[in-house]
Amino acid sequence: MFSYLEKKVSLQNEYKDINNIINTQIEKKMKTKSTTKIAMMVCALFMGTCIFFSCSDQGTKEQLEKIEFEKQELQKQFDSIMFNHEKVKSENNLYAEQFAEKDSVISAQAARIKSLLAELSAKQQDVTATPASTPAPAPVATTKTSKLREQIKELQATCDSYMRELETLKAENEALKAENEQMRAAMEETKEANEKLVSENQSLEQKIENAKRLVTTDLTATPMRKKCGGKGFKETKQSKKLQTVKIEARILQNDVVDPGTKTVYARITGPNNRVLCNGTAEEFSFDIDGSPLQYTAKQDIEFDGSARKVVINWSRNDNVKVVKGNYRVTLYADGQEIGKTSFKLTR
């Protein structure tokens, strides 16, 4: 019996030992599994963090590249707009004063765009220098590009308006220029017509003046000496025998000349250009064109418009020297020359 109880107790103790061993093993396995799970969780968390920051860095890089591309495109647009504007200005300096206000607006817009470009470049540098663990301020740069795009759009609109107004003004000036050219041509034609009319009037006036002038025909001047016996005169060619010069002419009919007493003056000049005259220049002179002119002889006639003959005889005084050569005879009336002829003395 005792033996049986001892054996039973012994068996129970062995069972407890085995149970303890089993529990111990189970606890060890449980601890091992828990540690493994924790390690796996930590590893997963670490990997997730790495992936997050890797994706974040990748996203920032892509965004920076996009912003840089947009900035370059906007810079190109801005440079192109300003280049075209400056070209238009240089080609149209004539209108600089009229577009000074509009040009100042464009300059102000361009200054704002340059400022925005500078700010955008500064933001890009800030993003590049931001640590990987810190979220990048990309939205700020994106806002700048949007604002920059709007400013460039406004600048383009202003430049387009500038160009339209310039073309309109140029077209108006061309129209005015064409109109002025037409007016100038018309004025030139009018001037030519007036000049022609003035010339015609002057010609007509000259014709009237000429028509009012007495005109002679068949004008002759004959040097003469007394015949032998003293009865009458005959022509001579010898200067030393010259005693008188007989001047004859026929005055043509003229109904334009005012009728009345007309004084016809005869002026005889010798080869030495001296006037044959029986007195001084003060005694024998008449007015022509406002100046006195010496004459040789004169004859008053009554002129009623009809044709008539005029005869002027000049008798030489003994103190008047006559030489051989050609002598010119000119007739005057009403202050105008009305005829001329000549004669020659041989010795």
Q: For residues 256 and 212, what is the distance between their CA atoms, to the nearest angstrom?
A: 5
For residues 78-96, give the mean pLDDT. 87
The answer to the question of residue 230 being in a domain is: yes
pLDDT at 55: 45
State the average pLDDT over residues 66-75. 84
Examine residue 189 and state whether it is found in any structural domain, yes or no: no
Are 147 and 251 in the same domain?
no
Q: Quick one: 26 and 154 in the same domain?
A: yes
Q: Cα separations (Å) of 253 from 78, 89, 217, 249?
A: 94, 78, 11, 13
Q: Tell me: the pLDDT tens digits for 244-272?
A: 999 999 999 999 898 999 999 999 999 98
* Radius of gyration for the alpha carbons in the chain, expressed in angstroms and rounded: 66
Whether residues 227 and 334 share a domain: the answer is yes
In a domain, 109, yes or no: yes
What is the domain range of residue 85?
A: 15-166
Whether residues 248 and 133 share a domain: the answer is no
pLDDT in tens, 171-227: 988 899 899 999 999 999 999 999 999 988 988 887 777 677 899 999 999 999 998
Q: Considering the entire predicted model, what is its pTM?
A: 0.47
Per the rule left: phi > 0, alpha: psi between -120 and 50, beta: everything else, 307 is beta
pLDDT tens digits for range 48-66: 554 444 444 555 667 677 7
Reply yes or no on whether the pLDDT at 92 is more than 80.
Answer: yes
CA distances from 246 to 255, 319, 341 (A): 28, 19, 12
As a whole-number percent, the residues of the chain with pLDDT over 70 amount to 76
Please name the residue that has the structure tokens 């993003």. Answer: 127
Q: Which residues have C-beta within 8 Å of that of residue 173, sequence separation ≥ 6?
A: none
Is the pLDDT at 133 greater than 50? The verdict is: no
Is residue 303 assigned to a domain?
A: yes
Both tokens of residue 25?
């093993």
Q: What is the CATH number of the domain that holds 325?
A: 2.60.40.10
**DSSP secondary structure string for all residues of 191-237:** HHHHHHHHHHHHHHHHHHHHHTS--EEEEEEEEEEEPTTS-SEEE--
**Is the per-residue pLDDT at 302 higher than 80?**
yes
- Cβ atoms of 258 and 251 within 8 Å: the answer is no
Q: Are residues 28 and 148 in the same domain?
A: yes
In a domain, 8, yes or no: no
Same domain, 149 and 250: no
